[in-house]
Structures are given as C-alpha cells and as structure tokens.
A and B are shown apart, each in its own frame.
Chain A
Amino acid sequence: MAALVVLLFALAATGGLYAALAPAPKAQAQDSGQQSLAIEQGKKLYDVGCASCHNSNGQGSDDGPSLVGVGSAAVDFQVGTGRMPAQQPGPQVEKKKVIYTQAQIDQLAAYIASLGPGPAAPTKDQYSPADADVAKGGELFRTNCSQCHNFVGKGGALTHGKFAPSLKGSSSKHIYEAMQTGPQNMPSFPDSTMPSKDKADIIAYLHAVDTAQSPNPGGFTLGSLGPVSEGLFAWVFGLGTLLGLAVWLAARNTKAKKS
C-alpha cells in the first residue's frame, strides 16, 4: 500500500514538473505548424534541386556527401552564395548566381535541419554585434585565416586547383556560417574552438580592411596580393615608363633634329 502511495506521489510530481517546465503548448503548436510546413516545402525543393547528388532524404551518394547533421547554417551558406546546387564537379564548387529566394533557402535549411541536429544559421546579434573588436579580429584573422585567405582576405591557392576564395563582398552572415560549418576545403571553427564573439570580431576586421569603403592610404592597392603584383607593376609601369622616356630622350639629339 505504501509503495502504491509513493508511486502515485512520484507520478504526480513528475507530471506537475512537466506541466510547469514544458514550453507553452499553444505557441509550440503554432511554431511547429509553420515549421512542418517549411520542412514540407523544403523537401519538395530538395527533391527537385538537390536529390540527384545528395540522394533522397539527404543520405548522400558518390556525387555528394550526406547532409544529415550539417545543420541549417551550412545550407544557408552553400545555397545562399550560389555554390549549391553545384554546376559541375571539379576541384572545388565555385560561387555563382544565387537561384533561390531567401524564403526558399530557409525552407531548404529547415528541411535539412530536420534530418539531424547541426549548427543553426546565426542571428544578426551573433554576426554583427555592436561591440565587435576590430584589432582583436585582426589578430584572430592572422592566426587562423590568413594562411589561406591572405592577410586582408584576398584569397590564395590550395593544392590541386583548390583555392581559398577572396572574402571581399561576402556578407557577414555567410562569413560567420563558413567559419561555423567549414564548407568544402575549409576547416570548421565551431563555437567550442572559436566563440561566437571571436567570429564577430573577425567579421568586423574584414569589414574594416576589405570593403569598398575601406581606406587605401597608399593609393591603388594592386590587389593587396603582396610583392608579386608589386614587382610586376615596378617592371611594367616603372621601368617600362623610364625605358620609354630614355628612348625619347636619346632621340632628341642634334643629329636627329637635322634630318
């Protein structure tokens, strides 16, 4: 009898705790309704645009990796920058025209996220907070990123035709997502290795040095590629001009005037 009473109490306590702590049932119902609609729409888009390589239900095939657990951040980056759907196989899938609307991308992301838990697309507070530290972002960028992307994000070569693309013109959200998910040949920097704040600092640094508004105190940057473009410029425009002027000057002699 005592055991029965204890059991009843325990059940009541569990139920009461659940009732107290569970999320508001009404809101959840509304949300999950929209969510399941997005997933459904996303699946339709997926079956048309993605399944030929990634297989049904994102299981992956020889032509494309499994998408289970990549999360909505990866989808938002890959489709949002036009890399996916891929045009052709190659060393690396390149950025191209975006063919989905942001609403469709969100639906695709919702569908992929429903296949397994993964990093979620960041919010504006995460990728462009007001208090980002540009100088610290610069140090983090030089420590973690510049060995592939060059010191101001102009990009660089990797092995066998792969490359780290230029970061100029990439949106803050996409840069954040790339760090979060590590697309293609890029290593990923999850929050456990690089906290959200650090990612925002890096993005702030890139905005300070690598946008159309960034100041170029020295004049034309020649691509900010380092000494190769400078050397080429010195030979072609520097020495080239001087040689032309030397020829011009040598032609102006007394003999040339007479004839």
Chain B
Amino acid sequence: MSTTTEEAPAQRGRPSNPGERVAEWADGRLGLYKFAKSNLRKVFPDHWSFMLGEICLYSFTILILTGVYLTLFFHPSMNEVVYHGSYTPLQGVRMSEAYSSTLHISFDVRGGLLVRQIHHWSALIFIAAMIVHMMRVFFTGSFRKPREINWLFGWTLLFLGMFTGFTGYSLPDDLLSGTGVRFMEGAILSVPIVGTYLSMFLFGGEFPGHDFVGRFYSIHILLLPGMMAGLLVLHLILVFFHKHTQFPGAGKTEKNVVGAPFFPIYTAKAGGFFFIVFGVIAAIAAVATVNPIWEMGPYRPDQVSTGAQPDWYMGFSEGLIRVMPGWEIRAWGHTLVLGVFIPLMIFPLVMMSIAAYPFIEAWVTGDKSEHHLADRPRNRPVRTGIGVAWLTVYFILLIGGGNDIFATHFHLSINAITWFVRVSFFVAPVITYWITKRICLGLQRRDRDKVLHGRETGIIKRLPHGEFIEVHEPLSQQQLHVLTAHAQPKPLTLAPEVDENGVARKAGPIAKVQARLSQNWYGEHSQIPKPTAEEYEEITSGHGHH
C-alpha cells in the first residue's frame, strides 16, 4: 500500500537510539537544537564575585520550593481557636488559626520545622546576597550603559524582596511580627489626611481586625513572588542579551567576553553551586533556630516584648524611627506626627538614592558610551566613596534599629547609642566618603608606581661600590593590562562664555552644577594620571635608576 512507501523515508531517518528519538521529536516541535546551538556555547567570564547573583537566584528557588510546602499546612485565618497541640507551654491559650497552624507546622508536621527554618534562613540570606550583589555591580560600575534598566530590575527585586519578607514573617501572627504590623500601621497612620483611611482600607477596619493575615497571605505567596519571578526572568534575559561584564586583563576588551562556555563548564559549576547553596542553608536551618514563634506567643495588641525588631533587611527603617526625635505638630484639631512621618519619607529615599545613582552618574560625567569592562573601584574614587557613604548610612541605621541589643550586650547607655546614631547619620558618611576617596587615590598612586618601577621583591642587593638597592621585579603583561586598561575621562567643561563669533553665551545654572560635579568626579583631585606609554618606555629602557 501507499502508506508503506510513505513510511519508508521516515523509517530510514529514524535514529535507533531512543534518547535521540525523543530529542528529535522535541526539536521538531520546540526548535531546541537551533536555540541550543547558538546559546549553549555562550561564554561567561569567571570571577567569584560574578557568582553573587547566583546565590540570590538559588536562594529564591529554595524559597519557592519550601514556601510551597508550607502553604500545604498553613491556614491564613484569624479565627480564634484554643491551642491543644503538642507544645505544652501554650496549651489552652487562645490564638488565631494562623498562629496555631504555624505551631502545628513546627511541632506536628513531619519536617515542618526544618522547612520553616530553611524558608526563613533562605529569606535572610537571599536579601543579604542581593545587597552584596548590588554592591558588586555598583562598585565595579557594571550598571553603566547598556545595563541601567537591568540595574533598576535588580533594585526592584531587592525592594520587592524586602516587602515579601515583611509580609511573610507577619503571617504567623505571633507577638513579634504582630508588633511589626502594628509598627507599619502606625507609620501609615502618620501620613497626613489619608493615613487613617489607608489604614482602615488595609486592615478592613480597626487594627488588627480579621483580614490582614489573609490579605498578607495573598500578597506574600502570589502577588509579590509572581512579580519577582517575572522580573527575575527579565533580569536574566538582559544579562544574557548584554553579555556579562568582565574585569580588565590581557585579551579582554569592550568587544569580547573571555571565559568558559555556558555548556558544559558553566552549567556544571552553576548546577553544583545550587546544591552547595541549598546544602549550606539546610545545614544552617538544621542547627540554628530562626523566628521561634512558639517562644513569642500569639499576638495580642495589649502585649509587647522588648527586642522587638524586624528582620535585618527592614532594620534600617526601625533605626530611622528609633533615633528620630518624637516631634509633633498639633494644629486645628489635627496632629502631624513628624517623629514617624519623617522617617517614613526617608525610608524610600535611602532606597531610591541608590536606584537613581546610574542616571545621576551618567548625567554628571556626560558618558554616553557602552561599557563592558568592569571598573576597578579604586579607579573611580568618587563613585566608590559615594557607595561607601551609602553603606555607612545603612549600617549606622542598622545600629540604631538594634540599639537596645547593642546597649545590653556592650554595656552602653541606649540614649548614648541613639545620640551617636543621630550625629553619625549626618557626619559619618562624609567622613567615610573622604577616607575612601583618599584610599582610592593612594591605591592609584601605588598602581602607577608598580607599573613604572615593578613589584618590590624585598630582596636587597649591595652594589660593588657599596650602595644598597632593592630589586624591583617588572610586572607581567597581564598585570600591566589590569593596572592600565581603564580610561581616565576628562571632566565636562562649560563652553566658553563668548562663542567663536563673539556672541555672548549664557550657561544655565543646571549646566554649571553639572560642570562642577563633573570636575569633582574626574578632575585632577579625583584621579592620579596613569602612566603613559612614553613614561613606561623611558623608565624601562634603562635610563631609570633601577
């Protein structure tokens, strides 16, 4: 029959290996082969700091996996129940179903406490890794064109991650997290005019009401992680599309990427690293308690515990509140609680200042070119200084947020710590900026010295006429590349006040500010001229003294 003749060619081309057959079947429908061929050999540069983003990705994956397990047993309900589970110190206590089911997960579900602890430790490490990853990108200037959008994606992931964490640890409705939700309600109430309406809207009436656990649950398991997963994919697509940045070195240019291919080397490493991250977090969760809700008891608005802090990533907002003087303005029958409202306004400013930085730097430097070689932080002293100043503010506020723990554990007065934080908030970033900039310039001088005179070997040689000299070893080509590859841009200057036709030209105030900042960024006080080829020739040709 005709069918047999039609089948024949198919039979001939059919691979004997079943695996190949499956591959062929899939390729015919998904076009995998073509995609894989062009992408599997994509090259990634190798540096430990390029693996920070991977820690974020893997801890996020762990969060999703463990989170799904927790949803199987958690009841997002504020119905009041009486506890009769296996944790004796709480038996017979009235609590919400959310709290009771979290106790159930912790004590009566197999592996429940371990999974809860993996979930919580992953969250703490996830956001810590995002901060470190962001700092790596910041200090190496990897946010410059064309990666500004991806910087914003990453920043948004951090911001959403903070609130996913907040809504997550509020779910068990324990005394500590309830205090945190009360704190947030207070912050919302401090907003003039709309504050009370917003609070009533969010909690479905007076705090705490019966709604917020259910609402936070939807936000925590659906809305925010959904947004984050989407952003994460976009973030990775852009990394793929832009290609990864690389540090300067011999053979590395703005136009190539030097490293290992995606498959098999990078996939093996990345896959292995996933299991390492999972293993480390699981080990930590197995030995160290996190968020022991059974110790804290169920939330009741009339109870509170000392040491009531948010998780660390919200710590700087706690610090802002704790150190802010309790100012209030009362007028026309209304109270404006500046002691809460000002911190509420500074909180997003702290975050947004770092988000806006790439655009500010691009405007100040007037740099419109693409960059694929990462900066060494020392070669951009102003940026590095600003980054350290930001970290200083962040860290100082963390101290403010934990002022009571610092007071008891270092035997200090909590008032003294609060005043230290108040003053340092303004003074310390200026000092650390200045110190960082000086250190960067010092390191640039040392680089210049190393390029021209080589590495100090520590070997002292005595010459025939009695003079002692230290032997300097010239750097290798690779090392010379690393130290001299960076560009040293000129600062922007204002156009002359009179143009070539003798017509007066007026520089606007914005242009003046831009020129001044640019002078600060790239002027003679912000970079040490790197050695020129002529200087290097001159010294290495034998005219130099050593």
Contacts and interface: CB of A to CB of B under 8 A. Distances in A.
Interface of A: 91, 134-136, 138-139, 142-143, 146-152, 154-161, 163-164, 205, 208-209, 216-222, 224-235, 237-239, 241-243, 245-247, 249-251, 253-255
B62 to A, nearest CB: 12
A238 B128 contact: yes
Nearest to B404: A157
A218 B290 contact: yes
B402 A234 contact: no
A138 B121 contact: no
A138 B297 contact: yes
Contacts of B175: 142, 146, 151
Contacts of B89: 134-135, 138, 205, 208-209
Interface in B45-65: 46-52, 54-55
A150 B305 contact: yes
Nearest to B87: A217
A217 B306 contact: no
Contacts of A237: 284, 288
Q: What DSSP secondary structure best describes chain B's contact surface?
A: helix
Contacts of B125: 234, 238-239, 242
A217 B116 CA distance: 12
Nearest to B270: A249
B239 interface: no
A203 to B, nearest CB: 13
Contact of A226 (B47, B107, B176): B176
Interface residues on B, range: 35 or more
A3 B525 CA distance: 115
A15 to B, nearest CB: 55
A91 B411 CA distance: 11
Closest 10 CB pairs of A and B: A231-B312, A218-B289, A156-B306, A234-B124, A250-B48, A157-B404, A157-B407, A161-B413, A146-B305, A151-B305
Given A157-B404, A230-B311, A218 B117 contact: yes
B366 interface: no
Contact of A227 (B54, B280, B302, B311): B311
Contact of B260 (A218, A241, A242, A254): A254
A138 B90 contact: yes
B158 interface: no
Given A147-B304, A209-B295, 17 more contacts: A135-B91, A142-B175, A142-B297, A143-B300, A146-B305, A151-B307, A157-B408, A161-B411, A164-B306, A218-B290, A224-B289, A227-B311, A231-B311, A234-B121, A239-B125, A247-B48, A250-B50
